[in-house]
Structure 1
C-alpha cells in the first residue's frame, strides 16, 4: 500500500477531524483568536491602507456573500476575506507562533469567517475549521524552521512565512466549511500552494505592502477552496514533490516530521502567543524591560546611554540599518524599531502598557523619543541567543549621567504560555481596539457572540455586527502611512 503524501495526511486531518473531538483548550483558544482578530480589524479601519483595500474591494463589485468590517454591503467571499485579512494584519498586533515566527490567525480567521458565511456553516464547524487551518499553517511553518540555524528558512530567503503558510492553512479551513471531502481538500491545498506569496523587504526599508499580505493569503485561500469545489485539481505531492511547495520556497530544506508528528493529538493552537503590544514581536521584550525600568524609577531625563541586547537574528529586523531604526519617519516604521520600542516603553502607557496611541507618525518624530532613540545601541546578547526563537528575549542596560547602571532582563514574552494574557486582559485589548470604532453596546454584543460561537447555529449573527455603523469618525489611532 502506498504511503500517503504529506498533503493527503493534512487534507484528511482538515476534512475529517470531528468538531466534537477538539480539546476544550483548543476551542477556547480559537474563540479568543476570533475576538482578537475582530478587534484588530476595527482598530485598523481608519488607516489609509485599510481604506485603500476597502475601496479596491468595493470597486470590484460582485455578489454579496460575506461581511467586511466597516462596509455596510456584503461582497464576494474571497474579497471579504481579503479586506478583513488586510485589516487584521495591518497593526502588527496579531498573534504569533514560536519558533516558526508565523502570525497564523490574520489569514486563517478572515478566510474561515468569509467561507462560513458563504456556506451557512454552524459556529461549531467554523471553530473546527479555524482550528485545523491554524494547525496546518503552523505545521508548515515549522517544517521550514531550521533548528541548527535557529531561524525560519522562509525568513532567510526573504519570504513572509505568515502569508505563504497562511494561504494553505486558510485554504483547508475554507474547504472544510464548503464541505469538501479529503480529496477535494487536497486539491484546495494544491491550488493554494500556487497562489501563496509574500516578501519581507518592507520590514527593513519601508513600504506598506506587508499590510496586504494576509489579506491576499485569505483571498487566495477562499479562491482555492472554491476552485477545488468546481473541479480544479492539484498534485497529491504538492508539498514534498520535486517541484512542490518545499522545493520552491525552501529549496528542499524542510522537516517532514514537523508536518505530521502528533497530528490530531498534539495541538499547537493553544500555544500561539497573543500580542500585548501593537508592534513587531521582536520588540516586545524591549518594551517590557523599558516599562519595568520606568516603574522602578529610572530618571528618563538623566539617561546617558542605552544598550538593547537581543538575539542576533532579530537585529536585522529591529536594529538595521541603525540610522533608520533610530529615526523612524512613520508610526509604521516605529513598529519595527528596537530603539523606538525602548522609547515607547519609557514614555508610553496606553492599552496593556503600550498601546496603539504610542505608534503614531507624530510620536515617531517627537523630540523626546528621538533623543532617547539616538542613545540606543542594538547588540547581540548570548543569553538571548540561547533562548531564541522559543522566546524573543531582551536585556536592557541603561547608564545614567551619575554612572549608575540599570538593568532589566525579560526572557519570556508576555502573551505566551509562560506569561499568558488572561481572559480579562484579552477583553481589555479587544475593547481598547474597538473603543474609537464601535459603539460600546455593539462591542459587547460581539464579545458575547464570540464567547458562544461554538454553540451558534451559524456565524451570521456575529458577522452582521462587524458591518454596523462606526461610533465615530475619529482620526487613526495607529500609523497613518
Structure 2
C-alpha cells in the first residue's frame, strides 16, 4: 500500500499520512474507498458455505484436522515441557469443564483447552505448513474443536467450512505481505485465521466477526527470535497462544464487545506496523469466497523445521545411493541460504542441541540423524536420542556453506548437500522432489499412517480401535452429525 505522498516516489519509505492507495503495479494505482479489509474477511467467513468449497480445499481441511490431532497426541508423550503448560491450563480453568485436553485427558473451559492443545500442536514441528512456510492449522484446529465442544452439535460439514475458511485466510495474508524475517508470521497472522474459524463455529454475524478480528489483534505478536535463539521451550509451544487468543476474541465478540474497526489498514494497523505498509490488498481479495487456497497446504514427512527437509532428503538419498555409513564420512557440507544459516548458528550449540525444540530447529543435528540412521522419526527427538554419541559425532562433521541461491524469498527454498568421505570420494545432491512438497504431496494413506504413529507416542495412547475409528471419521467428516464424537473417541469416552 502507498499513500498520496509516495506517488512520485513509489520506492520510498512508507508514510502513514493521507489516503491509502492500493497498488496493483507501480504504473497502476487505484484508490480504495471501502472499509478495512477486516470487513471483507468477516463477510467472507459469515457467508461461507460447504457447497462452495472446492474439493481440494475440503480434502485439505479434513487432512489437516486428522494430522493436527495426531501431532497433538504425540507431543503429549514426547515433549516434557507441555506437562507444565497443561497443568497450568487445568489449574487455570476454573469454570465449566467444556473441552477436551488431548493426551492427558480431562476437560477445561474452551479457552484453556485451546491453549493446551494448541501448544502441543506445534511442539514437534510436525504440523502442516504453507508452501511458503509457516503453519496455519496448529492454531486453527485446536481453537475450532475447543469451541465445537463448548457449543455441541456442530456437524462435520460446518467444521470443514470453518477450517477451510481459516486456512484460506491464513494463506491470503501470508502470501501478500512484505516480510523481512523479523516478525514471526505464524503468530502475527495465525491468530486472525484461527479467529475466523472460531467465529464461524460460534455462528458470529459479520459485525461480530469484524469485532473479533479487532479483538484478536491483542494477541497478534511474536518475533523470529523464536527461531533464531536457542534454549527456549516457547519455540514449540507458540500456537497455544494464538489458539487461546482466537477463542477469547470470538467469545468476547459473541458478547458484542466491539473491536478495532481499522485493525489491518489503519494508521497503526497490522499491515502498517508489522509490514511497513507493504501488502497487496487486491490479491488478498481476488476470488475471496470462491477460490479456497487450502488445497495447497503441505503435510510433513519428518518432525522438524520445514527448512531442514531438503537437507534431510538429500542426505538420506546420498547415503542410500552410495552405500555410505556415518563412519565413512569426513565432512557434510550443507549449502544454506539466509534463513537456513540461522538454523546452523551458533554452530556448536546447533551440533549439540540441549532441548527437543532446539534439535528440531537445528540443521546440523537433523542432517546428522539422517546420515546416521537413514531416516528421521519422532523417536529421534526423544530425550535419550538427543545424546546419542554416533549422531553427535556425525553432527560435528556438518559444516554450513552460505549460498544465496537458497535464500528464502517466497516458497521454502531447496538446498544442497555435499558429502566428502574419508577415502577421498565426493558426492553432491541438490534437493528436489522432497517428500511432502508441492510436487510430491502426501496421500490419505500417509496421513493415516502418520496419525497412527503419532497416537502411539501419546502419554495415554488410544486403543487401536479408537485410532481406526477416528481416522475414518475424519476421512468422511462431512457425514458426521457432531464433531464432538471425534474428541470423545480420542478421550476414550465412546467407541
| Larger Rg computed on CA atoms | 2
Give the C-alpha shift of residue 311 in structure 1. Answer: 2.5
Which range moved further: 185-194 or 298-307? 298-307
Give 3-state SS (helix, strand or coil) of 1:45's partner: helix
Note the aligned Cα RMSD (angstroms).
1.9
Which residues of 2 match residues 313-392 of structure 1 at below 5 A? 313-316=339-342, 318-348=343-373, 353-385=375-407, 389-392=410-413
For 1:285 and 1:322, locate their aligned partners in 2 and report how far apart those are by CA, in whole Å.
Answer: 19
For 1:196 and 1:382, locate their aligned partners in 2 and report how far apart those are by CA, in whole Å.
Answer: 31
Equivalenced residues, count:
454
For 2:274 and 2:437, locate their aligned partners in 1 and report how far apart those are by CA, in whole Å.
Answer: 28
Instruction: Name the structure 2 match of 1:23.
Output: 54
Instruction: Name the structure 2 match of 1:403.
Output: 424
For 2:54 and 2:104, locate their aligned partners in 1 and report how far apart those are by CA, in whole Å.
Answer: 35
Which residues of 2 match residues 17-166 of structure 1 at below 5 A? 17-46=48-77, 47-60=79-92, 61-99=94-132, 101-120=133-152, 121-144=154-177, 146=178, 152-153=179-180, 156-157=181-182, 159-166=183-190
1:295 to 303, 317, 320: 320
Give the C-alpha shift of residue 252 in structure 1. Answer: 2.4
Give the C-alpha shift of residue 467 in structure 1. Answer: 1.9
CA contact (8 A) 2:189 2:220 kept: yes
CA contact (8 A) 1:306 1:396 kept: yes
Matched, 1:423 2:441: no
For 1:211 and 1:327, locate their aligned partners in 2 and report how far apart those are by CA, in whole Å.
Answer: 18
Matched, 1:312 2:345: no
Give the C-alpha shift of residue 382 in structure 1. Answer: 4.6
For 1:348 and 1:74, locate their aligned partners in 2 and report how far apart those are by CA, in whole Å.
Answer: 39
For 2:399 and 2:113, locate their aligned partners in 1 and report how far apart those are by CA, in whole Å.
Answer: 43
Give 3-state SS (helix, strand or coil) of 1:396's partner: strand
For 2:90 and 2:113, locate their aligned partners in 1 and report how far apart those are by CA, in whole Å.
Answer: 10
For 2:253 and 2:444, locate their aligned partners in 1 and report how far apart those are by CA, in whole Å.
Answer: 38
Give the C-alpha shift of residue 411 in structure 1. Answer: 3.0
Matched, 1:445 2:466: no
For 1:337 and 1:84, locate their aligned partners in 2 and report how far apart those are by CA, in whole Å.
Answer: 25
**Structure 2 gap ranges (5+):** 1-31
For 1:31 and 1:192, locate their aligned partners in 2 and report how far apart those are by CA, in whole Å.
Answer: 25
For 2:404 and 2:241, locate their aligned partners in 1 and report how far apart those are by CA, in whole Å.
Answer: 38
TM-score by length of 1: 0.90
Instruction: Name the structure 1 match of 2:213.
Output: 189
The superposition leaves residues 429-463 of structure 1 with CA deviations (integer Å, 9 ceiling, x where unpaired) of 11111123222111111111111211211111111
**Structure 1 gap ranges (5+):** 147-151, 470-481
Give the C-alpha shift of residue 271 in structure 1. Answer: 0.7
Matched, 1:434 2:455: yes
Which range moved further: 105-114 or 262-271? 262-271
For 1:122 and 1:359, locate their aligned partners in 2 and report how far apart those are by CA, in whole Å.
Answer: 37
The superposition leaves residues 97-118 of structure 1 with CA deviations (integer Å, 9 ceiling, x where unpaired) of 132x210000001111112222
Give the C-alpha shift of residue 412 in structure 1. Answer: 4.5
CA contact (8 A) 1:129 1:176 kept: yes
CA contact (8 A) 1:42 1:69 kept: yes
Instruction: Name the structure 1 match of 2:16.
Output: none
For 2:339 and 2:236, locate their aligned partners in 1 and report how far apart those are by CA, in whole Å.
Answer: 23
TM-score by length of 2: 0.88
